Each structure stands twice: as C-alpha cells, then as structure tokens.
Amino acid sequence: MRNLLLILVCVGLSTCSAVPTLLTQVLTLGELRVVTRNSPISHYVGVDGPMGPEYELARGLADAMGVRLTIYTPDSFDQTLDELVSRRAHIAAAGLSVTSARRRQVDFGPAYQTVRPQVIARSGGRQAGSVEDLVDARIEVIAGSSHAEVLLELRQAHPQLAWQPVQGAEVDELLYRLAAGDIDFTVVDSTEFIVARHIYPDLRVAFDLGEAEQVAWALSRQPGDHSLRERVNGYFAQIEAEGVLAGIFRRYLEPVQEYDYVSTRAFVNHFDSRLPMYRSYFVEAARETGQDWRLLAAVGYQESHWNPQAVSPTGVRGIMMLTQRTATALDVDDRVDPYQSIMGGARYLSMMRERIPERIDEPDRTWLALAAYNIGWGHLEDARILTEINDGNPDSWEDVRAHLPLLTQRKWYSRVRRGFARGWQPVHYVDNIQRYYSILQWMTASERWELPDEDDEAPQYEIYGSVGTAAGAP
C-alpha cells in the first residue's frame, strides 16, 4: 500500500497515458495519507483514540473526499518533508510554518494559523532579552525546524550565535532538558507554549524570536498539477466559512488560555505526589461508570486538589466533596475515605449525565453534567430555560454557559422555578475541569490505546509510528 502511488505513476508512464493527478491518485487509492507529529496542538492519542486539531482537520478532509484516512508520525521531525517528496504521504498536517526553504520542496495549502517563535528560558536560570544575550549560551532546537532556519538567518548579523540542532527529538524533550537545567534556552512556537507552560510552570518566555509565521499544511508536489492544492484550498474555505475551523482550535486551546503560575505548579506537584495514590480508584470508578478516569481525576482535583481530608465551610467533604445528603443517597458511609468518595462522585456524575436528554451529544453532554454536579440539576434546568427564552440553544454548553450567571439577577431568576443561584460558580467550575482534563490527557497520552480489529466497522483511520504526549517541532 505504501508504494501504490509510485505503482500508479509507473503504470501511467508505461501505457503512454498521462500521469494521474495527485487528487486522482488519492481517490483511486481510496486513501488519504497524512504525516503528522505528536503534539497537544497537532495530534495525540487520547482515551478514545486519535485527537488534536490537525487530526480533526485531516479526518474532515478525508470524510469530505469519501476516502480512508491513514495518519502516522515519522521517526523524527526532520523526516516530515521527506515523506512528501518521496510520495509516501500526500499531506503533512504537522503545524508547519511556511518558509522559503520549505517552499522549494513542497506546496502549501492556505494559512490557518499565525504563530510567533519564542525563546524559552528557565526561571532562576540564564536570562535573555535579545539575540545578543544568546551568544555563548547552551541552545537546542529541533533539527529541520523553522526555528533552526530563523537562527541561521540571525547568525548573519550575529556570527558568534551557536546552537545544537537535535535529531529525532521533540519539543517536549527539549523543554524537559531546559527545566532540568541541562540547557539554557530552546525555541518554541507561541501556541505550543500556551500548552507547555501548564506542564513546565518554571519555564517562561524570554522574548519573541523573529517575525510572526504562518502555519499551513504542506502538500506533495507534482509538476503542473495543482489538483490536491485546489481541493485542500476549497476544504479550508468551506470549514472557515462554516466556523468549523475556529471551533476546532477553540476546543483545544481555549481551556488552557488562562494561566496562573502558582496553581499550575501546584497541579504538577500534585500530579506527581498525590495522584499516584488514588489513580487506581479513579480507574476503577471509570470502569464501573463508563467514564474517562482522567475526567474523574480532573473533577477530584477541582474539588479538593486530591486531598481526602478536604472540607468546605458548608460541610462538603472528601476528594469529591460530597454533601452528607448526596453521600447517604449513594451509600457512601465515610466521605473522607478516598475510595468511597471517588466511587460515590463518579456515580453521582454518571447520574447527572443520564439525566441529560439523549439528543444532546458529546462534549456538551459532559459539560452540562459537570455543571449539574456543581450547581444542582434544578438550577441547570433553570439556566437552560433562560437560554431558550433568549433564543439560545439549551442543548449547547456554550449557550447555557453564557446564561448561567443570569441566575444571580432578580429580573431573570424570578422567571424560573428555583430562583437565585450563584450561576458564575459552575462556569468557573467547568472551565477549570476542562483545563485539568486537557492537561491530564496530554500528560498521560503515551498510555497505549488499542486499535479495533480490522473487521470492526467504525474507524476510518490508522496510526503508524510512534504516539505519545510529546509536543512536536514547529
């Protein structure tokens, strides 16, 4: 299958007929081959299989074309363009910056994102405010990345500037080495660091390096053939007009836009020190209730920071902060017993989810259930009624989220059954859980996810090569 593209070309030549266009080759194969990279903002394997903005975009194009999606990662980032040049892949959906050097090898689709290359430093380590401050520093970047190209250009004005291009590494590995003090600086795209700072709270942006860069898909090139590029251009034009493109990136990046150093550092510390003691309980609770253990763990962290002795001024207790009434209904005898609390909280969230109308799909179903877990089912229903009154969609979490704070205003809460409620609380509650859940997914994404058997109907994708949590190169 890997060499079928070349076979098609050879057949075309041997019969003296025109070489099939790239688009024709994809449709004839019934397969769109996409090379990508492991990154929270590109592609990674979550609990339900492949995830990430680039994966969703590639899957959408394959579905629109009516072909199978085969998505894979090369052994190292610097092999990405080679996959296109050798025709082993049709598209590189890998968060690639559009550079003049890359344009000499491949075509590009329309730009769908703008990023800024940023020099990253360690708090308490060597600091820098300009390129001059990087001279004689220990700098590592991904070999073959656009960052290496930028540094090469800057060296014309700063001949003493030196760095180490690292073959086969990912950005996550370089950030780890930076956090450990093994190097002084590395370079990361701004969108990647929005995510990475939640995992490495002691790292900070030193300064922007060079100009902003456009990000686009790279496409295999065939002389005189623009068919694949035109198809990709049309696809992006459609999903941009429909709001799908913005929605995909919003889902992945919005939960981690807010950042607080102290709380992030605490989360990372608790991930290492507290979560291992209770992880098996979250896994068992997830298995019993059919939920993702990472979601349950995110709830537990939001409620108590995984502290089984936690108690609020209102008397709720334990890791999942159950009220006495809820605990009694769930047959939880000891709210500060971590096992009982986690199992009880998981069951209660499952109960809230079951009360959500069946017509509501994920992820809205989960976010609405979490809001009910926090504020109560009745107040959630009141907010949904207010959403409908104001011509919003009561089945959309985004619409309901905008109307929950109205429960604090007399002119609105007087119109619903249960009256006043601190409606801003579930908004912050769900926002925080979304952020913790995203981070937990990224930090545990290297855990193996088994693909279904070939006879199973559903997935129209395959995973080849390595998968993991590592943030990829730009």
Q: Which residues are catalytic?
A: 303
Cα gap 16→268, rounded to integer Å: 62
Q: Are 35 and 74 in contact (CB under 8 A)?
A: yes
Q: How far apart are CA 367 and CA 438, in angstroms?
A: 13
CB 121 within 8 A of CB 206: yes
Query: Longest C-alpha distance within the chain, in Å?
Result: 82
| Parallel/antiparallel/unpaired status of strands 164-166 and 139-142 | parallel
**Is 463 in a helix, a strand, or coil?**
strand
Rounded CA-CA distance 106/218 in Å is 6
DSSP string covering 143-160: TTSHHHHHHHHHTTT-TT
CA 97, chain centre distance (Å): 19
Q: List alpha helices for 86-170, DSSP H.
A: 100-103, 146-154
Helices (H), 274-419: 275-289, 293-304, 324-329, 338-355, 364-375, 377-389, 397-403, 410-413
* Whole-number Å distance between alpha carbons of 329 and 323: 10
Torsion angle, alpha carbons of 85, 91, 96, 97, to 10:
80
Upstream peptide bond of 363 is cis (omega within 30 degrees of 0): yes
| Cα distance between residue 445 and residue 287, in whole Å | 18
Phi, psi of 464 (to 5 degrees): -120, 155
| Host H or E run for residue 55 | helix 53-65
Tokens of residue 398, six digits: 């985004």
